[in-house]
Structure 1
């Protein structure tokens, strides 16, 4: 079986929105969808055994979802409403997709990080259904952004269904994975791709401190612009040849990086970015651009980390 698209649910309306996105992603990829509900108990180790049941079948004595055993824990009671509502949403969004269900004892961050090892893609809402769950799912999204083993889509904002897939090009050596993901998404969605590279006159583009980069003194602004344009071209060119049917727009923007990308996300159906180093503790090493888009983008954000 192909690796499934995984979606984390908690019964909130926002997590059901994530189910819709995940079901459509599974349909586009022709892979199963696995709905994962973590029961919130902290575990000393990630789940060691997995039992999943497709729609319409029974898992470990329940017809509403599958119970997963965790090291040091017995079977946890299923949550029928959470899983059943999510399953109903999935079938409505993508009727032909095979749906698997997992109810897992454990803390959501641990559970979803472990599940992501065997996922084509993980999908998660940016927030939950209450103040307590907001903190839980918010921290889960940030944690997975720093630890997910496969691409992660965090569902937020109001995407423009007719808009392009927005690729944030930063010129780092690891971003080809994000570039490839963006082209694949554009091809699957039959959408255009808008590759945006934001630059300013500071030689170190990561600088976002006080002062106005737009007014910084430089020796040759035209030369700097040419370098930044070349960076954008080199990042996109290899995949543009591999996806000749995807219409690509190159957009070079002179501005502050984070506000410019937030503004560009208003017109997009998805924004794709390489979030930075892997293995961040609590998301602390997640790149500032990735953090900003995760919390302020106007559409879903795909965080795709390349190998160091």
Structure 2
């Protein structure tokens, strides 16, 4: 029986940021034991259609990826269509989709406010948006490997999924995991007051359930009074990456990505991994 491995997919457009995103994607593919698929989309109106010309860009990126990680299985594809539509469709059969936060050419709209946010909300798999990915476009700049991973753990279903994914990332990378939970007292005097000690106890219990899976992972908890977005941005300033659920507490049923995740995704300085559940 043939085993089909869901690939890690990365979108490229020839920009330095895209080549940096390829390095992150190749690293993820190796750690996950998955093949890497490098995809270029020409933003031409009309139905999505795979093409065979203009392959130079993806082939160059594939050569670099194989050079960085000898033995990595790499495939390439070039498509006509809208980047969001093509990457979203490919995400149906992917383990992870990776994009840089800036681009040009065929990915002219590859800004966090468009492709990145849309994919985070509508992709069928987790999405990694690499901010300032041009920093890792060349081999002289090694990928971050020692900083902690920060996760937004608000206790929601999405937050629990993010916590699980962040723990697996920390375990695989052998780095500390910092779980952050922000809290605020309600404005209305009629609403139930928040007990900070209870918030801290709940977060500690969530971390304790993970500890048995890999006791070697250093677990840290941060319970901070304040609005979630500035708290998460501050805590992730020196992080390797920040992991978020697509939606947390307070999201509407039809909302594909919550306001907190969207704002952090738009303003973070580090890589942001948005999970799905």
TM over 0.5: yes
Match of 1:125 among 91, 100, 112: 100
Question: Which residue number in structure 1 is paired with residue 124 of structure 2?
Answer: 149
Name the counterpart of 1:195: 179
Q: Which residue of 2 aligns with 1:208?
A: none
Structure 1 vs Structure 2 CA RMSD? 2.7
CA distance in 2, matches of 1:30, 1:169: 27
After superposition, residues 67-216 of structure 1 pair within 5 angstroms as 70=49, 76-129=51-104, 133-138=107-112, 139-157=114-132, 161-202=145-186
Q: Is residue 53 of structure 2 the alignment partner of residue 16 of structure 1?
A: no
Q: Structure 1 residues 97 and 160, CA, compared in 2 at 3 Å: closer, same or farther?
A: closer
Partner of 2:35: 32
SS in 1 for 2:62: helix
Are the counterparts in 1 of residues 152 and 232 from structure 2 also a CA contact under 8 Å?
A: yes
Structure 1 residue 276 corresponds to structure 2 residue 276: no
| CA positional deviation for 1:224 | 0.8
Q: What does the per-residue CA deviation read over 1:189-243, in whole Å, with 9 as the maximum and x for residues that have no partner? A: 111111111112227xxxxxxxxxxxx979997x710221133124333222222
Partners of 2:153 and 2:184 lie apart in 1 by 14
Distance apart, 1:303 and its partner CA: 0.2
Match of 1:260 in 2: 231
Distance 1:231 1:134, change over 3 A: farther
Instruction: Report if the CA contact (8 A) 1:13-1:129 is conserved.
Output: no
Q: Is the 8 A contact 2:180 2:222 kept in 1?
A: yes
Q: Do the aligned residues in 2 keep the contact of 1:275 with 1:289 (CA within 8 Å)? A: no
* Runs of 4+ with >3 A deviation: 157-161, 216-221
Deviation, 1:20, is 0.3
Q: Mark the runs of 5 or more structure 2 residues left unpaired by the alignment.
A: 136-142
How far did residue 246 of structure 1 move?
Answer: 1.3
* Deviation, structure 1 residue 169: 0.7
Aligned length: 260
Contact between 1:201 and 1:217, CA under 8 Å: does it hold in 2?
no
Distance 1:137 1:101 in 2: 22
Find the aligned partners of 1:18 and 1:249 in 2 and give their Cα distance. 28
Check the 8 A contact 2:247/2:261 in 1, yes or no.
yes
CA contact (8 A) 2:100 2:110 kept: no
Superposition TM-score, scaled by structure 1 size: 0.76
- Structure 2 counterpart SS, 1:226: helix
Greater strand proportion: 2
TM-score, reference length from structure 2: 0.84
For the residues of structure 1 that align with 2:24 and 2:245, how far apart are their CA atoms? 20
- After superposition, the C-alpha distances for 1:245-264 in whole angstroms (9 at most, x for unaligned) are 21111111112211111111
Unmatched tracts of structure 1, length 5 or more = 48-69, 204-215
Distance 2:190 2:197 in 1: 14
Other-structure match for 2:197: 226
